[in-house]
């Protein structure tokens, strides 16, 4: 045991020396743009609560009402005795939102991606995937036992070539890439999948609720339907402010997932009170469309200001606005400098992003004000271009 501890201690020391060590922060307030973190109120630009619903009074009230009516826990998996009325109603609402016959709830987005890919691909099959896909999509592909072929980021031409390698394939991509904030070229990928007889799966975790005229996500933004993208994955803990995930598609696909997706079959169902609260969140998001409009305005204000300052922003039309730092040490030093001034922005470092591509991942919420954006720009303008990196022992964790 001591030998194991020595080896693990050495690896932890290596992570600290390389500015790659991560630690958790302690929140003592609801999620929001002004959370109390480690005993101090901060102005936060690193949450995925894009519409500001995580602490919306209507959603909070629905959670309390759901707990009073249905209890705290589901008690069992969906296929045993854990499938409650709020689960059914939420699946129906998500199917309507995404324009599909059916939807299926999962407990987390990670489990949804592992379960869906494992159920639809296996040994003897091929999975063609964007190189910058979220870790859950990559892990799902690897664990499925299928042959994983990865194409350069957003290269639909290369994806098409890989799809024609023989045999039925599954084409997998994010809709919005969580660390870059850019959009997948879904129309071109849909054509490639159709031409090759492949199934296209899109994880739109960061697009649903945010993009499109009604908030239906990247597919709505790019004018695509279920005929173009047969299987859609989404999460509920980002724009909708609660917890959980879902897959949406045809009756045949959803029935297949119910029978074969192991993370669905063998996991206790999402608490019914959370499903009840999510129904309220969907209603608020649909009714208060000013939230999406205001969010877009905050992103536009930030990008205009950053352009005037000559900041090295990456191209992104979404609330995810990465500021490229290059080295992990530089990203970490920038994050610490902002934190000292009361602004929380997370440093994203390898292995979440490639070596040399460390960055500040700046994210916006409908709860941000113009003065918040201006304050952030003021502090970013004062960042030294190449601050001396320091030890990473107290680095904040990456938001993935």
**Total number of domains in the chain:** 2
Task: Please identify, among 287, 312, 331, the residue that sits at the C-terminal boundary of a domain.
Answer: 287
Distance between CA atoms of residues 38 and 346, nearest Å: 15
Is the domain of 190 the same as that of 300?
Answer: no
Distance between CA atoms of residues 173 and 159, nearest Å: 10
Task: Please identify, among 287, 311, 335, the residue that sits at the C-terminal boundary of a domain.
Answer: 287
Is the domain of 331 the same as that of 184?
Answer: no
Mean pLDDT (whole number) for 352-364: 93
Is the domain of 127 the same as that of 98?
Answer: yes
Please give the share of the chain, as a percent, with pLDDT higher than 70: 96
Query: Any bridge partners for residue 201, and if so which?
Result: 172, 231
Query: Any bridge partners for residue 172, and if so which?
Result: 129, 201
pTM over 0.75: yes
Is the domain of 191 the same as that of 74?
Answer: yes
DSSP state of 283: H
- In the prediction, which pLDDT does 386 show? 57
Q: What is the pLDDT of residues 225-275, one digit of tens each?
A: 999 999 999 999 999 999 999 999 999 999 999 999 999 999 999 999 999
Picking from 178-187, 278-287, 323-332, which range would have the lowest pLDDT averaged per residue? 323-332
Asked if pLDDT for residue 396 goes beyond 50, the answer is no
Instruction: Establish if 267 belongs to a structural domain.
Output: yes
Q: Which residue has the higher pLDDT, 103 or 25?
A: 103
Instruction: Establish if 393 belongs to a structural domain.
Output: no
- In the prediction, which pLDDT does 272 show? 98
Instruction: Establish if 332 belongs to a structural domain.
Output: yes
Asked if pLDDT for residue 168 goes beyond 90, the answer is no
- In the prediction, which pLDDT does 118 show? 96
pLDDT category of residue 400 using cuts at 50, 70 and 90:
very low
Is the domain of 132 the same as that of 263?
Answer: yes
Mean pLDDT (whole number) for 98-127: 96
Picking from 69-83, 165-179, 257-271, 279-293, which range would have the lowest pLDDT averaged per residue? 165-179
Is the domain of 309 the same as that of 248?
Answer: no
Which residues are catalytic, by number? 178, 206, 238
What's 183's domain CATH number? Answer: 3.40.640.10
Going along the chain, which residue ranges are E strands? 36-37, 40-41, 43-44, 102-106, 126-130, 147-151, 169-174, 199-203, 231-235, 245-249, 320-326, 343-344, 346-348, 358-363
Q: What is the pLDDT of residues 185-230, one digit of tens each?
A: 999 999 999 999 999 999 999 999 999 999 999 999 999 999 999 9
Is the domain of 39 the same as that of 115?
Answer: no
Picking from 9-23, 50-64, 272-286, 293-307, which range would have the lowest pLDDT averaged per residue? 9-23
Asked if pLDDT for residue 306 goes beyond 60, the answer is yes
Is the domain of 109 the same as that of 183?
Answer: yes
Domain boundaries, position 310: 23-50+289-381
Is the domain of 276 the same as that of 348?
Answer: no
Q: What is the mean pLDDT of the chain?
A: 93
> Which among 194, 244, 268 is positioned nearest to 224, based on CA atoms?
194
């Amino acid at each position: 045991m001591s030998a194991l501890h020595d080896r693990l201690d050495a690896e932890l020391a290596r992570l600290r020396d390389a500015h790659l060590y991560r630690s958790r922060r302690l929140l003592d307030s609801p999620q929001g743009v002004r959370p109390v973190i480690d005993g101090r109120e901060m102005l936060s630009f690193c949450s995925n609560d894009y519409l500001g619903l995580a602490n919306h009074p209507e959603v909070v009230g629905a959670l309390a009402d759901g707990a009073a009516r249905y209890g705290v826990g589901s008690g069992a998996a969906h296929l045993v005795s854990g499938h409650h009325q709020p689960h059914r109603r939420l699946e129906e609402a998500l199917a309507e939102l995404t324009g599909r016959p059916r939807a299926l709830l999962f407990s987390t987005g990670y489990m949804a991606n592992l379960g869906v890919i494992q159920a639809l691909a296996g040994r003897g099959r091929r999975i063609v995937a964007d190189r910058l896909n979220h870790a859950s999509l990559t892990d799902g592909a690897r664990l499925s036992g299928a042959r994983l072929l990865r194409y350069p980021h957003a290269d639909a031409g290369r994806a098409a070539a890989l799809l024609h390698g023989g045999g039925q394939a599954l084409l997998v991509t994010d809709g919005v890439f969580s660390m870059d904030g850019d959009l997948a070229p879904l129309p071109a990928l849909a054509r490639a999948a159709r031409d090759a007889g492949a199934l296209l799966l899109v994880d739109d975790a960061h697009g649903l609720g945010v993009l499109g005229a009604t908030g239906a996500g990247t597919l709505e933004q790019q004018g695509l339907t279920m005929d173009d993208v047969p299987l859609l994955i989404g999460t509920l803990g980002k724009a909708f402010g609660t917890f959980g995930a879902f897959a949406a598609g045809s009756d045949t696909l959803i029935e297949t997932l119910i029978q074969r997706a192991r993370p669905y079959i063998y996991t206790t169902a999402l608490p019914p009170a959370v499903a009840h609260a999510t129904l309220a969140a969907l209603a608020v998001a649909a009714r208060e469309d000013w939230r999406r409009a205001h969010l877009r305005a905050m992103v536009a204000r930030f990008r205009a200001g950053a352009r005037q300052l000559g900041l090295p922003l990456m191209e992104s039309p979404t609330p995810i606005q990465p500021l490229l730092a290059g080295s992990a040490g530089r990203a970490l030093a920038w994050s610490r400098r902002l934190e000292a001034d009361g602004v929380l922005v997370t440093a994203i470092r390898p292995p979440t992003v490639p070596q040399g591509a460390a960055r500040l991942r700046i994210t916006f919420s409908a709860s941000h004000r113009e003065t918040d954006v201006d304050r952030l720009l003021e502090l970013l303008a004062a960042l030294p271009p190449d601050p001396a990196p320091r030890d990473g022992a107290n680095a904040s964790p990456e938001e993935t």
